[in-house]
Amino acid sequence: MRIGEILARHREGLIAEWIDRLRAENGPRYEKRPKEELYVTVAAAFDASYAVLVERDYRLIDCHIRWITGLRLLGGFSLSEVQGAYEMFRKVATPVLAQELGKRELKEALERVNECLYYTITRFSDNFQQLHEKQIREHAQDLKAQVDKRTRELAESEAQYRVLVEDINDGYFVNQEGTIIFANKAFCDLHGYSVAEVIGRPYIEFIAPESRAEVKKLYEKRVEMGHAQDLYGYSRRTRDGRALATENKVKLIVYRGKPAVAGICRDITERIEMEKKVRESESLAHIGQLTTSLAHEIRNPLSSVKMNIQILLKKLEFSGNDKRRMEIMTEEISRLERILTEMLDFAKPLRLDLKPTPIRRVIMSCLEMMTVRFQEKGIQVRSKFSRSLPNVFVDQDKIEQAIINVLQNSIDAIPAHGWIGITTRYTPQSTPHVEITIDDNGPGIPQEDLPYVFDPFFSNKKKGTGLGLWNVKKVIEAHGGSVGITTKRTGGVHLSMAVPVGKA
């Protein structure tokens, strides 16, 4: 049969036509392939088909099928596209064979071409399908591995996130549409609730009434305008109804497809108190400088006037009320000197000379010093001391000054023939301390004035600087103790001073 000779003679022309028809008729993927590449693949397919048709040798076509399957699968070709490319051999070869072969030879040649193409396309289809399925399985396995990896990473990330959020000291929360949808334990502890009691409750319930309008306004503006983050202070509301200073740092986020606010809240009560103390210290330092200057300027003329009055009282004879007037002048000058001394004490920094001291001895010394004033007003002193009181590590002179200031206030406040009670008690638990309490049966202090009685220069007395109780607080706190004052329901004042037993 002359089929081999015909194909060999027309080889280059048939390959060229095969390439052109592939680019023109077999889809955009073949159209985009370079002609140089198509020449390699088509020439190999032609030679493999020649071996089958002429020599009955299937080795080249099997090799070509394995090669072209991987190449076209990798290039994204479909099964039908490659099948059509193989089928193109029949379209380009048939006209040439028809021109040179007789009817009987042509029939036989076409049968052999059909057999070759049936084998080629069938083997390619099976091979393509197997390789494609393998590729799908490997891709599925890769996807599964990636999903498993991402799941592990997500679980680890969530665990790390939970550790971070749950272990921080600051409160963390997510507020969506005005409702708490997440809160860590610190947030719940700050407000006095459990986590179960917080989730699902309106966020506004955790804000003190005086701050609600401002916080609500900020929240609505943040959601409406899309502000990224904000830092603001407000008063939170605790379970027991207290309003405590708090700072929020919040950020607008998207949670489950809806806008929400994630925030970190922090208790700033101590910081506010510290800032207040710093401002007070700065103010007091300025006042101290001023009072020191004034006190020195006034004390010298006062001393001169007092000394001259005393000389005149000794040398001159006054008649009628003149002598009493001179004595009153002397007394008033002495009072002014005491006020100046208080002002100087206010301005001076407090230095303590700490020594172990029996507190009962300190109190008894104060009562002895005040005996004359007690007798002048007919005041009864009721004292009750604990039997076993440890020594306290204090500056005796300063503690005596504090106790005397309290006693003087009581003497000035209570009516004639009233009473003053003084007691001591030792508390060994927690921070061991001795508590000194002083009570009287005076009119007490108005409730609205109680928050200010320890402020410097605050006084309701006609005569006084308002430094007595301030000095008491200053002395006791310098020893590491605390002082408090209340008005009793029955009238009178109850003041307590707690002095630590240990070294300050």
pLDDT at 349: 65
pTM over 0.75: no
Query: Residue 247 — φ and ψ, nearest 5°?
Result: -125, 135
pLDDT-based confidence at 321, cuts 50/70/90?
confident
Q: Which residue has the tokens 């010298």?
A: 300
Q: What is the pLDDT of residues 177-228, one digit of tens each?
A: 889 988 888 888 889 999 889 899 998 889 999 888 888 887 777 667 666 5
Q: Can you tell me the distance from the alpha carbon of 118 to that of 256, in angstroms, rounded to the nearest whole number?
A: 57
Environment class of 160 (CB within 10 Å of its CB; exposed 0-12, middle 13-18, buried 19+): exposed
Torsion (CA) 150, 152, 158, 162 in degrees, nearest 10 = -170
For residues 106 and 98, the answer to whether their CB atoms sit within 8 Å is yes
Tokens of 271: 């910081």
Average pLDDT, the chain: 82
Nearest-angstrom CA–CA distance, 14 and 70: 25
Strand runs labelled E in 212-309? 229-237, 243-255, 258-267
Instruction: Look up residue 259 and give its DSSP letter.
Output: E
End-to-end CA distance of the chain: 122
Instruction: Render pLDDT for 355-377 as a digit per residue (tens, 0 to 9).
Output: 888 888 999 999 888 888 889 88
Residue 83 CB contacts under 8 Å (≥ 6 apart), including other chains: 121, 124, 125
DSSP of 408-462, one letter per residue? HHHHHHSPTT-EEEEEEEEE-SSS-EEEEEEEE-S----GGGGGGTTSTT---SS
CB-count exposure of residue 375 (10 Å: 0-12, 13-18, 19+): exposed
Q: Is 461 exposed, middle or buried (0-12, 13-18, 19+ CB in 10 A)?
A: exposed
Report the pLDDT value the prediction gives residue 344, as an integer from 0 to 100: 62
Query: So what's the pLDDT on residue 504?
Result: 44
pLDDT for 66-109, tens place per residue?
998 888 888 888 888 888 998 999 999 999 989 988 888 889 98
Tens-digit pLDDT profile for residues 236-281: 999 988 888 898 888 888 877 888 888 888 888 888 877 777 676 6
Tokens of 491: 């009238």
The share of the chain scoring above pLDDT 90, in percent, equals 20
3-state secondary structure of 289: helix
Q: What is the pLDDT of residue 463?
A: 59
- Segment 282-311 shows an average pLDDT of 64
Please give the domain boundaries of the chain with CATH numbers for all domains.
3-141 (1.10.490.10), 168-267 (3.30.450.20), 272-347 (1.20.58), 355-500 (3.30.565.10)
pLDDT, tens only, 426-455: 888 778 889 999 999 888 888 888 888 877
β-partners of residue 475 are none
Burial 186-201 (b: 16+ CB within 10 A, else e): bbbebbebeeeebbee
Confidence of residue 46 (pLDDT cuts 50, 70, 90): very high
Q: Please say whether the beta carbons of 438 and 422 come within 8 A.
A: yes
Indicate if the alpha-carbon torsion angle 447, 453, 457, 463 is positive or negative: positive
